[in-house]
């Protein structure tokens, strides 16, 4: 199996193309500063992932930035820190400031020459529009949690994407799902018979960070530590 066997790359965005953990930690500073160093980077990220996943299951109709506001409040309550709703809302609106990984834009620009590029993301449309400016590429389709009414790893998100792509003439065998999160992306990709590429942004770090751990480790077909590595492998195939 080769990367060049596929016609469509479907992407998770946050954690794969956008450095959501750095963005989260920066925007969480008003809260973590009050904790005075009593919580580690991974501890706050893992707590964030737990509250986020719970809230997404409870209120799948809420936009992602609204989910984040509730997550901020739950983190504050859990640590016994006073906060205001305005502070929670400000955190929810921080997605627009989350940085892209340094290699994302260049890799996407290269891959755009060879594939249809599609986003499948647990995001609201307004927040993604701001992130997309940092990625510097026009995606061929964008499917968000706000569009679908549920959050990954819900099967409904993948069913929606596959149905939409089928109307454009693409079958599962044409698609390579490309993502960091085992919980949100690779596990449901396995369930839906999709091949997948793991962009292991957290290599060298322990745990799963802001993504929940999977019940069991899913299968993946390719593994790269960055989008740059993935683009380089495709170039090698084309020149090989």
Q: Show me where the domains of the chain are located.
A: 3-19+99-239, 21-97
Are 116 and 130 in contact by the 8 Å Cβ rule? The answer is no
Q: Is the pLDDT of residue 37 over 80?
A: no
The average pLDDT across 97-104 equals: 97
Q: Which residue has the higher pLDDT, 153 or 214?
A: 153
Q: Is the pLDDT of residue 103 over 80?
A: yes
Q: What is the mean pLDDT of the chain?
A: 95
Q: Is the pLDDT of residue 240 over 80?
A: no
Q: Is the pLDDT of residue 128 over 80?
A: yes
- Name the active-site residue from 12, 19, 124, 185: 12
CATH code reported for the domain at 3-19+99-239: 3.40.50.1000
The average pLDDT across 11-34 equals: 95
Residue 12 designated active-site: yes
Q: Structure pTM?
A: 0.94
Domain 21-97: CATH architecture, name and number where available: Orthogonal Bundle (1.10)
Are 195 and 175 in contact by the 8 Å Cβ rule? The answer is yes
The average pLDDT across 97-121 equals: 97
Chain centroid offset of residue 57 CA: 17
């Amino acid at each position: 199996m080769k990367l060049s066997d596929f016609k469509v790359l479907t992407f998770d965005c946050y954690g794969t193309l956008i450095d959501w953990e750095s963005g989260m930690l920066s925007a969480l500073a008003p809260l973590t500063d009050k904790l005075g160093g009593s919580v580690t980077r991974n501890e706050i990220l893992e707590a964030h992932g737990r509250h986020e996943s719970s809230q997404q299951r409870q209120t799948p109709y809420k936009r992602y930035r609204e989910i984040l506001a509730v997550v901020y409040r739950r983190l504050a309550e859990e640590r016994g820190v006073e906060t205001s709703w305005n502070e929670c809302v400000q955190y929810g609106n921080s997605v627009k400031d989350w940085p892209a990984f340094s290699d994302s834009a260049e890799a996407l620009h290269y891959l755009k020459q060879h594939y249809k590029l599609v986003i499948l993301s647990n995001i609201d449309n307004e927040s993604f529009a701001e992130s997309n400016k940092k990625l510097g590429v026009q995606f061929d389709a964008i499917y968000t949690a706000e569009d679908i009414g549920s959050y990954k790893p819900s099967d409904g998100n993948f069913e929606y994407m596959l149905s939409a792509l089928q109307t454009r003439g693409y079958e599962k065998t044409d698609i390579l799902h490309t993502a960091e999160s085992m919980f949100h992306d690779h596990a449901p990709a396995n369930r839906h018979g999709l091949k997948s590429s793991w962009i292991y942004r957290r290599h060298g770090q322990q745990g799963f960070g802001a993504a929940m751990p999977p019940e069991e480790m899913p299968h993946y077909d390719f593994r790269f530590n960055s989008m740059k590595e993935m683009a380089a492998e495709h170039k090698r195939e084309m020149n090989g």
